[in-house]
Structure 1
Amino acid sequence: MPTIASLLADPALHLRAVVDGATGALEAPVRWVHNTELLDPSPYLRERELVMTNGLWRHDDGSAARFVENVVACGAAGIVFGLTEQTPRIPPELIEACRRVDLPLVELAIEVPFTELSRAVAAEYAEHRQHELAGLVRRGDALAETISRGAGLAGVLDVLERDHPELDVAVVDRMARRLAGTWLEEGDLEAIAAALARHPPPLDVELREGRRASLFLCGALGGADAALACLSPSSELGNAHRDALDQVARFVSLELARIELTQAIEMRFAGELIEMISSGTPDTDLVAERLEGFGIGAGDRLAVWSVASGDEYEGMSSGAPVDLAESIRRFFVDEGIPAVVASGSNDVVVIFPWRRADAEQEPLATRFVESARTVPRRERVVAGLGTVGSGIGCLRSSLFEAREACRVLRRRAAGAPVVRFAALGTHHLLLGLNEPATLRRFAKAVLDPIREHDRARGSELERTVRSFLDHDGQWSATATALHIHVNTLRNRLSRVTELTGRDVSRTEDRVDLFLAVRALDAVPAE
């Protein structure tokens, strides 16, 4: 950008600084030049423009002090006084007025017209803009090369840092996660995530300790999924900074889209693998091939986790959010452990090789759960651990165990968030000893009569049985939970006895109903 100092350095202009103005005023950018003979040119002046005048406003009884006051009010860069034969010297009162307000005042020789000064400013501006555009092209080439060689978001920000080391930036997503860039406090991450959730997101966001950051939105496959946050307010950014940040934000969007598509493909293959294991596919070679695609040997000792967010306490269920699967994937990458991570409707399943002592699994899972809880707005996270086994033949039973352990944790209102299936005891182990198909046949044999009755007549016998068991066979508590009279409850359970042959007043029959309900919940539908 042209400055008063750069114009003074041009010998062809014959300029002389009469008043230097405030410190740094001569080196500050000049937006453009404006020729005026009005005593009050403020309606036509823009900030940082250089005012050119011959002082004709003096003949209209205008004072130099008032003229300077009007120029300063517009935030002008300074005044260039063009000498003429009628005014061969700058009026002393104009010099004094500029000195009082620290406004730069420059003298232009008689033989140099204002048009020559305008031409010089235009030439400098064009050269500066050409340099900026060349920089954009060069940086664009560097960014494209960085993405093509897989340097990721960190590589993209490295390109920006080479050109503008004075900028402090980070990539933050809607989950308040720092994906790359400078380290930020949790409160700052939450503030940026909250801003991204607004429609439309603001251009600036308030951070801790009165600081502000400017946001340059980045989208993966639509929407503002993340932001390139510059730890300077937008008002302090020059055009060069804004152009660079806008350009880098677009490449961040490309990289986010690439990451999202890659993860979607991995998730699909991981989901298919979990489905093959769950269904007991006889094609073990295909399972082994899929595992090897994730860097896992079919002969390794394999561990299975089932991780879920939320709970099922009192019948509530919140499923398995996509961001939980991504958090697990990132956790295992940081741990240096290859893993299959598949997001299902109720949980996220993880399969990975385990080369340490079995007892070290729980501390690892606990560390993940504790890290997952730090994510803003995330619910309670629990993890069920299956039995570690050698080879793919153990995967199906371990998968079932992990899911059963996770389901048990989700039904508990409190307590440890991680449990091994072997530590559950009681009926859970009994369920785990049987094949899923066997359990489903048992559950259907017990519960199908009341389910068919509910479908045919719109009754709520299954819900009544579940509530009765959940409330430990307490009649009053069950009736209250179902919002019915105790006599209505007794009539419903009598009908259950007629349909199933199981009397809830007998321990043996109640156990049958309890195991049938738990087996139906634990075993996925065929």
Structure 2
Amino acid sequence: MSDAVAPTLRDLMDEPRLGLSVPDGMTEDLDRPVSWVHTTEMRDPSRYLRGGELVCTVGISLQTPQDCRTFADSLARAEAAGVCFGVGDGHDVVPEALLTQCRLRRLPVLVAPPSTPFSEVSRFVADHWLGAEIAVARATNALVPELLSSLRRHESVRQLLDGAGQILGCYFFLEPSGTAGDPGGGDSTAMTAPVPGLGTLVWVGRGERPEPALLDLIARFVRAAQGERDIESALARERVGQLLSLVERRMLLPDALSQLLTWPGFVARELTCSAWPTGAGALLSMAMPDALIGETPDLCLMLTADAVEPTEELSLPSGHSAPVPLTDIGPAIAQARIALELAQHRGGRVGPDQLSTLQSLLEQLPVAQLAPFKSQLIDPLAELDRLRGTQHVRTLRVFLAANGSLSETARELYLHTNTVRHRLARIQEITGRDPFHHNDQTAFVIALWAADRYAST
């Protein structure tokens, strides 16, 4: 975080998707850095501020000139970066009294249209602060599939590094242990990462220097690629994978595993199965030497005698079953496979507790199967919102998130409960579905999820 660059108010103004504007005569001080975004409807939020925040409000508590004076004074005292005022809910325009008080205190004011939720402003600022972490995540998403493919093809370390360098637009080489001189040959532009037992991974490039976490990731794959030269280990994983596949398809009794394979974990009362992307066997063997690991054509399976996770951060999606006795290992493999499919959509780790949710069920369905929910229940509302500047979709989303509570929805949207009730009645008129009816609420949840999924593709 120390290397991150804070966004300025001008950066937010220059972002077209936010649609922010500045009131006439208040274009000064827009180069102030923004430390974070704080949303409030308090007249005096100073005790919650630490300095540099962009304070977002729709002005529910700013009804009189004295309210505006108190608010502006508290922000100036806390050294806030400025105000982002959302119009369309509490006020149609920024109160003139607030503008006057902010001018007196040289406090910049940005105006957010009804179509821009404060969460979008927060996300923009967070993306700036977390730029390095986001860059690593994006590079990792591009690298890992190629590196796994390299392991599956049993390529050499040199071939693996060439593939990584092609993706990142740079060059990597492995400096063997015991080589005289500095790694990188004295090149001041080089970056290095240790590869235990093998030497030092060296990056050389003219572009942006990669984050250390990215070099560590590639170093782990270098170790795995070198280990893959042990053909006997690779063949053993393939044999384990074949036997586990037979158990999953009920072509082999689970008890037979202990007769065909030598693994101390079979004596445990319960086993846990996890599924990983194909090609991950060498990485898992290094991270979990006591586990039973099998490679199949479409995934990698790992059995452990407990719920212990790999000690290293492998940056791979994974699916995990509940602990089961050996006799139930077949269904456990199937459960881990389903969990892996979800993890490959979401990223990270998916366990058995995450398989019994509506979201996990939806993620397993083809997006085309959910299209009717979106087209019949969300598209008409979204079109009306676009044409008239209304907020039916947002109101529906907040209402469902509040478990159908009118009061909580009104409080979240800073509206009167009668206004929320009117909008929900209008939603029923347009869609023919009642937001207060349980079955229709489920349909709306599915429709919103489908709309979000279409928007992300």
The normalised TM-score by structure 2 is 0.35
Q: How does the TM-score come out when normalised to structure 1?
A: 0.31
- By relative contact order (CA 8 Å, sep 6+), the higher-ranking structure is 2
